[in-house]
Structure 1
Amino acid sequence: MSTVQSVDRALDVLEALADRGGEAGLSEIAARTGLPYGTIHRLLRSLLARGYVRQESDRRYALGSALVRLGGTAERMVGVWAQPYLEKMVALSGETANLAIMEGDFVIYLAQAASPRRLRMFAEVGRRVLPHSTAVGKVLLADRPDAAAVLGRTGLPRRTDHTVTTVEGMLAELDAVRERGYAVDLGEEELGVHCLAVPVRDGGRVVASMSISGPAERIEALDRDRLAEGMREIAGEFGAELGPGH
C-alpha cells in the first residue's frame, strides 16, 4: 500500500507525543521518530495551526484539543466494531463481555455485551477506573514499559481485601500476565466478582483489552487456560479488523 510521506511523518510526531504521555520536547520527538529537526519543526507548525498540537510555556509540545473530537468519535466507532466479537465471548463463556482501553493512566470501558443469565455483571460503558485492580487494566499495563511510573502516579488504593497495593507486587503480577497471556481479577475491584481479560493487538502493540466478568463461583468453575485460549482467538480476530486495510 502506497503512503504519503508527509502524512506518515505527521502521524509519527503525534504518536511520539502520545508515547511520551502526551507531552515531549523536540529532542525527544526526534529520538522517537528519527526525523531531522527541520522536518519536525515544519510538521509541528502545521499541527499547531490546526490545534492538533499545542506549545507549552516551557517550549515543550503537547497533544492539542482538536484531537478530543477525533478521539471521542474513534472510541465510539471501536465500540461499535467490537460488538460482534464481544457477543462471541458471551457465547463462549456465558458471562458479560467488556472492551476497555487505556487513556493516560486510567482504564475506560468502551463497550459491553451482556450475559443472558439472570444474575450478571455490568461495567458501565464510559466508566474510568485505575488499572491495578481490574483484569483489563493489568493486560493494558503489562504492555507498557512505563508501568512502574504509571503505578507511582496513580497509587494502588485498596478496593477490597484482595487488591494488590504495592508497586512491587503489581509488577510481579504483570510479569505473570505476560507469561500466561491473560490477566485475572479475583475480587480485587469488587468482592464476589471475578474477571478474566486478554489483549487486543494491532500488529504487535496492545491497543485494547477484552474481558469476561461474572459471579466468583461461576468463574471459578471454568477452565481458565482453555477459556483464555478461546478469548485470545476472538480478540485476535477483532485486532485483525482494526489493522490497516479494514
Structure 2
Amino acid sequence: MDKPQRTSRGSIGDDAAPGKPDNHDRRAVSQTLDRGLEVIDLVAAAPDGVTVAQLTELLGTPRTNVVRLLNTLASRNYVVQNPDGRYRLGSRPLELARLVQPVVRVIAQKVLQRLADRTGATAHLTAAEGDDAVALLVVEPRTATYHVSYQAGARRPLTRGASGFAILSARPPATAELPEVAAARKRGWAVSHGQIESGTWGAAAPIRHPQHPDLSVGVVYLGEPADPDTATQAVLQAANEIRTQLG
C-alpha cells in the first residue's frame, strides 16, 4: 500500500491554523477539531486503508489521542475500521457530499433512469474524490432481466474503469497518462472491458460543466452490448443533457 501523505493543513502541534497567520486567528482555532479533520483527510488519502501506527507517525501526536479521535469519528460514521485493523472512510462523508450537489443529483436522477431504460444497462453518475471515482447515483434499468447491481458510494481508483477514465479525460493531459484516458479525450467518451468486474463492459462521458467539474455519466453492462456505438451515443447524449440542464 502507498504510504499516506500528510495533508497541507500544517503541523498538528502548531497553534496556528492553516492559512491563518495572525495571533487572533490562532486563538480562535479548535486544535482538537483540526486534528480530527486532518485524520479524515489522511484516511481519505489512503484508498487501501491506514493503520493507527501510520496515523500516529503522520500526525506526530500520542497514539492514545489518535485512537480517541478515531473512536469519535467512527461513532459518527466518518471512518470505519476493517477486520484487518485499517481505517477507511465511512458513509457520513458521502452523505455530506450528496448534500453539496443536490441540484446535480435531482437533474441526473431522471436522465440516468432514461439512460438505463434505453440501454438496458445500469447507469451511474460518478465524481472524483481525491484519486478515487465515487458513485454518487446508481440507477438500474427497468427494461432488462439481468443487469449489474452496486450501490452509491462504491469507489475505485480513477485509473480503473470508464467512469474514471472519462473524468481524467476532461483534465489537462498528464505527463504519464493511460492510453485509455488519451483515447477518451480524443473521442469524447471512455470504455472499459472487465476492469471493474470480470465480464463487464462500461462506457462513460465527462459532464464538462465549469461549476461541476470532475463528474462523469456512464453505463455498465453484463457482457458487451450488441451495439456498442448506440450505447456510447446514449451516454454522450445523457452527459450533454445533464450539462444543458445545469445551465
TM-score by length of 1: 0.58
How far apart are the structure 1 equivalents of 2:206 and 2:158? Answer: 14
Identity in percent: 27
What is the DSSP-based 3-state SS (H/G/I as helix, E as strand, rest coil) of the residue aligned with 1:201? coil
The equivalent position to 1:82 in structure 2, one of 89, 100, 108, is: 108
How far apart are the structure 1 equivalents of 2:98 and 2:211? Answer: 24
Say if 1:118 and 1:50 are closer, same or farther in 2 by CA, change over 3 A. Answer: farther
The equivalent position to 2:227 in structure 1, one of 203, 219, 222, is: 222
Aligned residues: 174
Matched, 1:239 2:246: no
What is the DSSP-based 3-state SS (H/G/I as helix, E as strand, rest coil) of the residue aligned with 2:145? coil
In the TM superposition, what whole-angstrom CA distance separates every residue of 1:63-98 from its partner, at most 9, and x where no partner exists? Answer: xxxxx6864412455333311000121132121111
The equivalent position to 1:201 in structure 2, one of 197, 208, 224, is: 208
The equivalent position to 1:177 in structure 2, one of 172, 184, 193, is: 184
Show the counterpart of 1:102.
128
Q: CA deviation at 1:133?
A: 1.6
Structure 2 letter corresponding to 1:94: G
How far apart are the structure 1 equivalents of 2:98 and 2:112? Answer: 20
Matched, 1:142 2:169: yes
Show the counterpart of 1:153.
none
**Gaps spanning 5+ residues in structure 1: where?**
1-21, 26-39, 57-61, 63-67, 149-166
Structure 1 letter corresponding to 2:165: K
In the TM superposition, what whole-angstrom CA distance separates every residue of 1:172-206 from its partner, at most 9, and x where no partner exists? Answer: 22111011111011112211010111111214974
How far apart are the structure 2 equivalents of 1:70 and 1:187? Answer: 31
Matched, 1:131 2:158: yes
Matches within 5 A, 1:46-57: none
Show the counterpart of 2:99.
73
What is the DSSP-based 3-state SS (H/G/I as helix, E as strand, rest coil) of the residue aligned with 1:133? coil
Q: CA deviation at 1:143?
A: 2.2
How far apart are the structure 2 equivalents of 1:214 and 1:229? Answer: 15
Q: Decide which structure has greater helix share.
A: 1
How far apart are the structure 1 equivalents of 2:108 and 2:140? Answer: 13
| 4+ runs deviating over 2 angstroms | 22-25, 68-72, 75-81, 143-148, 203-207, 226-231, 240-243
User: Greater CA radius of gyration, 1 or 2?
Assistant: 2
How far apart are the structure 1 equivalents of 2:103 and 2:153? Answer: 13
Structure 2 letter corresponding to 1:141: L
Say if 1:214 and 1:70 are closer, same or farther in 2 by CA, change over 3 A. Answer: closer
Given that residues 134 and 154 in structure 2 are in contact (C-alpha distance below 8 angstroms), is that contact kept between their aligned partners in structure 1?
yes
TM-score by length of 2: 0.58
Given that residues 82 and 238 in structure 1 are in contact (C-alpha distance below 8 angstroms), is that contact kept between their aligned partners in structure 2?
yes
How far apart are the structure 2 equivalents of 1:197 and 1:203? Answer: 18
What is the DSSP-based 3-state SS (H/G/I as helix, E as strand, rest coil) of the residue aligned with 1:230? helix
Show the counterpart of 1:18.
none
What is the DSSP-based 3-state SS (H/G/I as helix, E as strand, rest coil) of the residue aligned with 1:91? helix
What is the DSSP-based 3-state SS (H/G/I as helix, E as strand, rest coil) of the residue aligned with 1:124? coil
Say if 1:24 and 1:87 are closer, same or farther in 2 by CA, change over 3 A. Answer: same
**Gaps spanning 5+ residues in structure 2: where?**
1-6, 11-18, 36-40, 42-92
Say if 1:189 and 1:223 are closer, same or farther in 2 by CA, change over 3 A. Answer: closer
How far apart are the structure 1 equivalents of 2:167 and 2:29? Answer: 31
Say if 1:111 and 1:41 are closer, same or farther in 2 by CA, change over 3 A. Answer: same
Say if 1:227 and 1:73 are closer, same or farther in 2 by CA, change over 3 A. Answer: same
